[in-house]
């Protein structure tokens, strides 16, 4: 059965015919894109005109997100910016600590049990003049239940007195950089770093595994995808044990599951040999909607957490250099074995020294196992400089930049972490494209909201939260940004042969929009309403997902 | 470094990739001597777990006959530690293998947040043939230096790969890098397990000699640490016996300031690898003193403990008179 959809405009990403009016779909794939007359040549069809007033573009591809975002929405949203939840409710941003407290109090009032934990997320004190939040603030919500609120960055957590008490942190004599103490010698309730947060987080209702998706969370994540026009999304770092894989296959295999999830095996906790063996086994379990068989390596930490590895002269504020999350020899072993086995590796780097290590290591591995189509990708690569892009081009590497970061933390980078000069060239999309590096841009959801059109807006405008344009020369055009969130991202996932554009033979994946992103102003890009998606020919309206 | 409660003792083993951490763990596993060890590793990797000894495996935890357990903590050490302590049978001693790029001091600091545990010492393994080059390597040089800096005790491994003439200068360099942590010289990481964990098995003898017999450095027999005199301990049967250890047992006759004594015992001038024992504090309470290289702790002594102190050093480093002086009547008054 062939269906031909008509639309106000179809943006194809196929340069031979960039804009058409009709697309024919058969068995979940695209028979062709063109005029109705052209498509009639494929034979009998039914004409579906429900999108006659909509804009279709290729289903968007989120190349760096974490499906755990779905789980986080079960906690109370405490962010500064408005944000839409999986059910389409837009939670208003909280502009003061008092508002944060009020929202938590609202939740508190709905809980029957006076000892049940209360959990929140996405708070960010940089928007409250960096006024530190302490346990006494949260004690205003409750002194009988443990309360924990994770910061937007994921690096810091605030808890109340009860949570400290339950975790046995409410005592004198704690000496730890991650646990600031008040004048009373007791922890203030601010906890920095995962090893410090975890024992208290557990008391405050956070899951054992703060990074891995669960069953209802995966379904909610898929809802967010539909609402933002995403038809393929990555879950970029997972342990992927047998239970998780079975669950993932079961959930994504449901007839009405609306998105293709690509989940990458995280390098931690196993040897390079075990990593390769496991990844090969995972590839065999891959299905159309649950793609497995790639590796994610983490080279360093984060810039705002001062754990990224920077080249000389290091951090602007003089903080000591960050941490390696993998030994160079291990990275080399993984790269060599992955190249030999034909496994693609995505490597997280934030600092420029970490990027240097990746380039040196890949260059060495390629000498052993020459390969021109490996598509090894640097994820984030926030500080990549021009010389590094030139090397990346020679090494046939791809990049996926963290464009959203610029908006949320660009001012911090300018003022504190790397200083003005380097902040202006962070996530240097223009230079990447000028060096012909295949490029995607991403949200790293739940760190920032999943919404490729917003990510495109960030890369096009390079505005920081305070309203400054940071790095005028690194802006890209709307067309380039739209390419980055479709074919660009598809290329970094080695899926550009099946998704990323609307043309004959590809998956029938469309984002259905109310407005035309190629004609709106650059500033309006993020405000375009998404009607829903078509994924492998199945129609999903955001209004009833 | 004073704690009221004595949690489960933890030794952190750090050091760069390839320095011999896993070899050391394998060695300790084979010489657990009845201690219920919990070995926490980043990955099971090269851990030589004798399949015949495996009683059960549940995901990341392998239970061995004899009471030892191995856990792979991946990227969540605090969760694994929490699970470990919630088990019915608690380990006697926990050994955490830090990943090759981890900073063992940071692991030690987070350990201080879990009251069920007590950091006994940070042991950093250094490969004698590569440590200096690694410490000036472009990418990992500062990481290696920070690891050495965190050490309470250094295991200088693979000494057989180093020309004898270079050993002293390397030791001098390591001493500076590590703020004068005590050094154990080793080949294939064959370090007597008693130097690292099972001193708790030591039975402090009831009667103590009035005089200190001469050292008997050449007499190699399997003797327990608590021999009431200097004696060789834990000699491993290998061909590269670059070092031997001597222990000195002392029965303090006076009440003394336990903190001051512990601090003195951990001082670099004594070069002690370990010391453990019980002393009567100035307020007449019996205290446990633990020293691992540079690190010391004082906790309340267990019921029934008797005053007594065992100190271990490498044979050539043993400063017998200086140690004894700490326990003299003069010292008891002055410190
Ligand atoms: Zn991420």
How far apart CA A477 and CA A462 sit, in angstroms, is: 11
State how far residue B73 is from chain A, nearest Cα, in angstroms.
7
Q: Which is nearest to B236 in space by CA: B10, B24, B14?
A: B24
DSSP, res B91? P
CB contact under 8 A, A324 and B73: no
Q: How confident is the model at residue B240 (pLDDT cuts 50, 70, 90)?
A: very low
Q: Which is nearest to B275 in space by CA: B265, B286, B285?
A: B265
How far apart CA A500 and CA A502 sit, in angstroms, is: 7
ipTM: 0.88
Q: B83 vs A309, which has greater pLDDT?
A: A309
CATH architecture of B201-334: 2-Layer Sandwich (3.30)
A207 burial level (CB within 10 Å; 0-12, 13-18, 19+): middle
C-alpha dihedral sign at B208, B209, B211, B216: negative
Contact (Cβ atoms closer than 8 angstroms) between residue A514 and residue A8: no
Q: Beta strand pairing status for B93-97 and B8-14? A: parallel
Secondary structure E strands in B29-133: 37-41, 54-58, 61-64, 69-72, 93-97, 117-127
State how far residue B204 is from chain A, nearest Cα, in angstroms.
32
Q: Where is mean pLDDT largest: A288-302, B184-198, B213-227?
A: A288-302
Which residues in chain A are contacts of B77 at CB distance < 8 A?
195
Which residues in chain A are contacts of B101 at CB distance < 8 A?
323-327
Question: Distance, CA B275 to ligand 1 centroid (Å)?
Answer: 46
State how far residue A326 is from chain B, nearest Cα, in angstroms.
6
pLDDT of residue B330: 64
Domain A2-53 has CATH 2.30.40.10: yes
pLDDT of residue A153: 84
The position carrying tokens 């399997």 is B222
Buried b (16+ CB within 10 A) or exposed e, A86-113: beeeebebbeebeebbebbeebbeeeee
Of A175, A193, A195, the CB nearest to B77: A195
Q: Tens digits of per-residue pLDDT, B282-297? A: 888 999 998 999 899 8
Would you list the DSSP string of A437-497? --EEE--TTTTS---HHHHHHHHHH-B-TTS-B--GGG---HHHHHHIIIIIHHHHTT-TT
Question: What tokens were used for B282?
Answer: 């100035």
Q: Which is nearest to B140 in space by CA: B100, B180, B96, B98?
A: B100
Question: Distance, CA A236 to ligand 1 centroid (Å)?
Answer: 6
Task: Residue B34: count other Cβ atoms within 10 Å of its Cβ.
Answer: 11
The verdict on whether omega for the bond into residue A446 sits within 30 degrees of 0, i.e. cis, is: yes
Which residues in chain A are contacts of B140 at CB distance < 8 A?
324, 327-328
State how far residue A387 is from chain B, nearest Cα, in angstroms.
18
Q: Choose the weakest-confidence range: A90-94, A97-101, A191-195.
A: A191-195
Q: How confident is the model at residue B332 (pLDDT cuts 50, 70, 90)?
A: low
Taking each continuous run of H as one helix and of E as one strand, the counts in chain A are 18, 24
pLDDT of residue B198: 59
How far apart CA B249 and CA B263 sit, in angstroms, is: 18
- Residue A203 sits at the vertex; the CA angle it makes with B73 and A92, to the nearest 5 degrees, is 110
CB contact under 8 A, B43 and A196: no
Spacing of C-alpha B212 from chain mean position: 25
Residues, chain B: 335
- Residue B166 sits at the vertex; the CA angle it makes with B164 and B170, to the nearest 5 degrees, is 125
pLDDT of residue B102: 94
Q: Is the pLDDT of residue A253 over 80?
A: yes
CB contact under 8 A, A327 and B99: yes
Q: Tens digits of per-residue pLDDT, A218-235? A: 999 999 999 999 999 999
Of B79, B100, B107, the CB nearest to A327: B100
Question: Distance, CA A378 to ligand 1 centroid (Å)?
Answer: 12
Question: Distance, CA A377 to ligand 1 centroid (Å)?
Answer: 13
Q: Is the pLDDT of residue A313 over 50?
A: yes
Which residues in chain B are contacts of A321 at CB distance < 8 A?
142
Question: Distance, CA B202 to ligand 1 centroid (Å)?
Answer: 50
Residue of B nearest to A273 (CA): B45
Q: How confident is the model at residue B199 (pLDDT cuts 50, 70, 90)?
A: low
Domain residue ranges of chain B, discontinuous segments joined by +: 8-195, 201-334
CB contact under 8 A, B109 and A208: no
Q: Which is nearest to B49 in space by CA: A326, B86, B41?
A: B41
How far apart CA B126 and CA A110 sit, in angstroms, is: 57
CATH superfamily of B8-195: P-loop containing nucleotide triphosphate hydrolases (3.40.50.300)
Which residues in chain A are contacts of B114 at CB distance < 8 A?
168, 199
**Mean per-residue pLDDT, A420-438:** 98
For CATH 2.30.40.10, the residue range(s) in chain A are: 2-53
DSSP, res B279? E
Residue of A nearest to B107 (CA): A195
Q: Is the pLDDT of residue B329 over 90?
A: no
Chain B contact for A42 (CB, 8 A cutoff)? no
Of B72, B82, B101, the CB nearest to A327: B101
CB contact under 8 A, B17 and A175: no
State how far residue B135 is from chain A, nearest Cα, in angstroms.
14
Q: B215 vs A483, which has greater pLDDT?
A: A483
Contact (Cβ atoms closer than 8 angstroms) between residue B138 and residue A328: no
Q: How confident is the model at residue A453 (pLDDT cuts 50, 70, 90)?
A: very high
Residues of chain A with pLDDT > 90, as a percent, come to: 90
How far apart CA B46 and CA B189 sit, in angstroms, is: 14
CB contact under 8 A, A195 and B139: no
How far apart CA A245 and CA A263 sit, in angstroms, is: 9
How far apart CA B142 and CA B101 sit, in angstroms, is: 10
How far apart CA A286 and CA B316 sit, in angstroms, is: 61
Which residues in chain A are contacts of B42 at CB distance < 8 A?
268-269
Of A196, A209, A239, the CB nearest to B110: A196
- Residue B312 sits at the vertex; the CA angle it makes with B286 and B103, to the nearest 5 degrees, is 90
Which residues in chain B are contacts of A309 at CB distance < 8 A?
139
**Mean per-residue pLDDT, B241-250:** 71
pLDDT of residue B209: 37
pLDDT of residue B136: 96
How far apart CA A353 and CA A350 sit, in angstroms, is: 9
Contact (Cβ atoms closer than 8 angstroms) between residue B113 and residue A176: yes
CB contact under 8 A, B113 and A329: no
Question: Distance, CA A70 to ligand 1 centroid (Å)?
Answer: 15
For CATH 3.10.310.70, the residue range(s) in chain A are: 69-203
Q: Tens digits of per-residue pLDDT, A262-299? A: 999 999 888 999 999 999 999 999 999 999 999 999 99
pLDDT of residue B237: 35
State how far residue B137 is from chain A, nearest Cα, in angstroms.
11
Residues of chain B with pLDDT > 90, as a percent, come to: 38
CB contact under 8 A, A178 and B110: yes
3-state secondary structure of A49: coil
Q: Tens digits of per-residue pLDDT, A489-541? A: 999 999 999 999 999 999 999 999 999 999 999 999 999 999 999 999 999 99
Contacts by A86-92, CB closer than 8 A, 24 or more apart: A86/A220, A86/A221, A86/A223, A86/A224, A86/A227, A87/A223, A88/A227, A88/A542, A88/A543, A88/A545
A243 burial level (CB within 10 Å; 0-12, 13-18, 19+): exposed
The position carrying tokens 């990708």 is A377
State how far residue A13 is from chain B, nearest Cα, in angstroms.
41
Q: Going by C-beta distance under 8 Å and a sequence separation of 6 or more, which residues neighbour residue A447?
A: A152, A153, A154, A404
Question: What tokens were used for B28?
Answer: 């300790």
How far apart CA A485 and CA B5 sit, in angstroms, is: 56
What are the residue ranges of helices labelled H in A321-371? 328-341, 352-368
Mutation pick from A177, A193, A206, A269 vs chain B, by most beta carbons of B within 10 Å, is: A269
Q: Which is nearest to B239 in space by CA: B169, B183, B188, B179?
A: B188
Question: Distance, CA A64 to ligand 1 centroid (Å)?
Answer: 6
**Mean per-residue pLDDT, A471-481:** 98
Of A177, A325, A328, the CB nearest to B140: A328
How many contacts does A have with B, using Cβ atoms within 8 A?
83
Of B17, B103, B113, the CB nearest to A327: B17
Q: Tens digits of per-residue pLDDT, A103-125? A: 999 999 999 899 999 999 999 88
pLDDT of residue B331: 62
Cα–Cα distances in angstroms (integers) from residue A151 to residues A138, A148, A157, in the given order: 14, 10, 6
Of A198, A208, A274, the CB nearest to B43: A274
3-state secondary structure of A151: strand
Q: Going by C-beta distance under 8 Å and a sequence separation of 6 or more, which residues neighbour residue B116?
A: B7, B8, B81, B85
CATH topology of domain A69-203: Diaminopimelate Epimerase; Chain A, domain 1 (3.10.310)
Which residues in chain B are contacts of A177 at CB distance < 8 A?
109
CB contact under 8 A, A274 and B140: no
State how far residue A370 is from chain B, nearest Cα, in angstroms.
24
How far apart CA A473 and CA A432 sit, in angstroms, is: 12
Question: Distance, CA A301 to ligand 1 centroid (Å)?
Answer: 11
3-state secondary structure of A170: coil
State how far residue B57 is from chain A, nearest Cα, in angstroms.
15
Q: Choose the weakest-confidence range: A68-72, A276-280, A480-484, B270-274.
A: B270-274
Q: What is the dihedral of CA A446, A262, A398, A518, to 10 degrees?
A: -70
pLDDT of residue B215: 35
Q: Tens digits of per-residue pLDDT, A168-186? A: 999 998 888 899 999 999 9
CB contact under 8 A, A174 and B113: yes
Residues of chain A with pLDDT > 70, as a percent, come to: 100
Q: How confident is the model at residue B234 (pLDDT cuts 50, 70, 90)?
A: very low
- Please give the backbone phi and psi of residue A441, each rounded to the nearest 5 degrees, phi first: -135, 150
Of B77, B110, B142, the CB nearest to A321: B142
Q: Tens digits of per-residue pLDDT, B251-262? A: 888 888 999 999
Q: How confident is the model at residue A404 (pLDDT cuts 50, 70, 90)?
A: very high
Mutation pick from B110, B115, B142 vs chain A, by most beta carbons of A within 10 Å, is: B110
Q: How confident is the model at residue B333 (pLDDT cuts 50, 70, 90)?
A: low
Question: What tokens were used for A264?
Answer: 């990458």
- Please give the backbone phi and psi of residue B182, each rounded to the nearest 5 degrees, phi first: -65, 150
């Amino acid at each position: 059965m062939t269906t031909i959809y008509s639309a106000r405009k179809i943006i194809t990403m196929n340069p031979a015919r960039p804009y058409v009016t009709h697309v024919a779909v058969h068995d979940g794939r695209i028979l062709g894109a063109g005029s109705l007359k052209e498509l009639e040549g494929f034979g009998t069809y039914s004409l579906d005109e429900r999108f006659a007033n909509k804009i279709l573009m290729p289903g968007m591809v989120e190349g760096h997100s974490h499906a755990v975002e779905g789980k986080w929405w079960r906690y109370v949203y405490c962010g500064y910016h408005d944000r839409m939840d999986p059910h389409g409710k837009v939670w208003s941003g909280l502009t003061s600590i008092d508002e944060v407290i009020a929202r938590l109090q609202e939740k508190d009032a709905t809980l029957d049990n006076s000892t049940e934990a209360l959990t929140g997320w996405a708070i960010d004190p940089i928007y409250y003049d960096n006024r530190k939040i302490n346990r006494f603030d949260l004690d205003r919500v409750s002194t009988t239940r443990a309360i924990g609120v994770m910061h937007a960055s994921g690096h810091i957590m605030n808890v109340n007195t009860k949570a400290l008490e339950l975790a046995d942190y409410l005592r004198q004599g704690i000496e730890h950089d991650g646990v600031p103490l008040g004048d009373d010698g007791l922890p203030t309730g601010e906890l920095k770093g995962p090893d410090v947060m975890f024992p208290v987080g557990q008391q405050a209702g956070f899951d054992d595994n703060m990074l891995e998706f669960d069953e209802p969370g995966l379904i909610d994540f898929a809802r967010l995808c539909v609402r933002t026009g995403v038809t393929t999304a990555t879950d970029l770092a997972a342990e992927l044990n047998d239970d998780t894989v079975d669950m993932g296959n079961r959930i994504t295999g449901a007839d009405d599951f609306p998105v293709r999830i690509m989940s990458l095996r995280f390098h931690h906790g196993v040897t390079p040999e075990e990593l390769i063996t496991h990844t090969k086994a995972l590839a065999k379990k891959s299905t159309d909607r649950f793609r497995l068989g790639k590796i994610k390596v983490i080279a360093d930490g984060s810039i705002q957490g001062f754990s990224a590895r920077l080249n000389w002269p290091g951090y602007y504020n003089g903080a000591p250099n960050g941490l390696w999350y993998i030994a160079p020899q291990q990275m080399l072993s993984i790269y060599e074995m992955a190249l030999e086995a034909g496994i693609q590796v995505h490597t997280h780097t934030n600092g420029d020294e970490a990027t240097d290590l990746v380039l040196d290591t890949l260059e060495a591995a390629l000498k052993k196992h020459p390969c021109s189509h490996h598509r090894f990708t640097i994820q984030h690569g926030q500080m990549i400089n021009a010389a590094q892009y030139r090397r990346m081009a020679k090494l046939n590497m791809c990049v996926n930049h963290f464009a959203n970061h610029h908006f949320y933390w660009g001012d911090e980078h300018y003022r504190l972490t790397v200083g003005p000069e380097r902040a202006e060239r962070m996530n240097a999309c223009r230079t990447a494209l000028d060096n012909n590096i295949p490029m995607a841009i991403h949200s790293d959801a739940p760190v920032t909201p999943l919404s490729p059109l917003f990510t495109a807006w960030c890369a096009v405008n390079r505005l920081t939260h305070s309203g400054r344009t940071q790095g005028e020369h690194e802006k890209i055009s709307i067309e380039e940004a739209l390419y980055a969130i479709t074919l660009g991202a598809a290329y970094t996932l080695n899926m550009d042969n099946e998704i990323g554009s609307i043309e004959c033979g590809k998956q029938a994946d469309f984002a259905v929009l109310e407005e035309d992103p190629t004609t709106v102003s650059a500033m309006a890009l993020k405000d375009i309403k998404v009607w829903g998606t078509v994924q492998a020919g199945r129609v999903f309206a955001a209004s009833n997902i | 470094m004073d704690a009221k409660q004595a949690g489960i003792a933890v030794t952190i083993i750090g050091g760069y990739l390839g320095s011999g951490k896993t070899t050391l763990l394998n060695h300790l596993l084979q010489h657990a001597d009845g201690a219920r060890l919990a070995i926490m590793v980043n990955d099971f990797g090269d851990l030589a777990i004798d399949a015949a000894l495996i009683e059960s495996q549940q995901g990341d935890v392998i239970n061995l006959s004899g009471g030892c357990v191995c856990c792979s903590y991946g990227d969540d050490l605090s969760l694994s530690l929490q699970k470990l302590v919630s088990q019915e049978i608690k380990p006697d001693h926990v050994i955490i293998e830090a990943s090759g790029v981890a900073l063992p001091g940071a692991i030690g600091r987070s350990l201080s947040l879990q009251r069920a545990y007590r950091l006994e010492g940070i042991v950093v393994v250094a490969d004698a043939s590569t440590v200096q080059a690694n410490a000036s390597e472009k990418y990992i040089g500062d990481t290696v230096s920070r690891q050495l800096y965190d050490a309470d005790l250094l295991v200088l491994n693979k000494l057989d790969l180093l020309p004898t003439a270079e050993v002293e200068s390397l030791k001098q360099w390591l001493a500076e890098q590590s703020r004068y942590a005590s050094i154990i010289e080793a080949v294939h990481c064959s370090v007597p397990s008693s130097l690292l964990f099972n001193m708790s098995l030591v039975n402090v003898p009831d009667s103590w000699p009035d005089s200190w017999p001469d050292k008997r450095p050449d007499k190699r027999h399997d003797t327990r640490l608590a021999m009431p005199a200097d004696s060789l301990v834990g000699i491993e049967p290998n061909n590269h016996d670059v070092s031997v250890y001597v222990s000195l047992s002392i029965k303090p006759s006076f009440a003394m300031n336990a903190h001051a004594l512990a601090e003195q015992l951990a001082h670099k001038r004594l070069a002690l690898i370990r010391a453990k024992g019980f002393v009567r504090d100035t307020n007449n309470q019996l205290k446990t003193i633990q020293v691992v290289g540079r690190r010391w702790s004082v906790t309340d002594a267990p019921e029934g403990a008797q005053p007594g102190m065992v100190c271990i050093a490498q044979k050539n480093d043993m400063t017998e008179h200086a140690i004894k002086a700490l326990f003299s009547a003069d010292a008891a008054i002055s410190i």
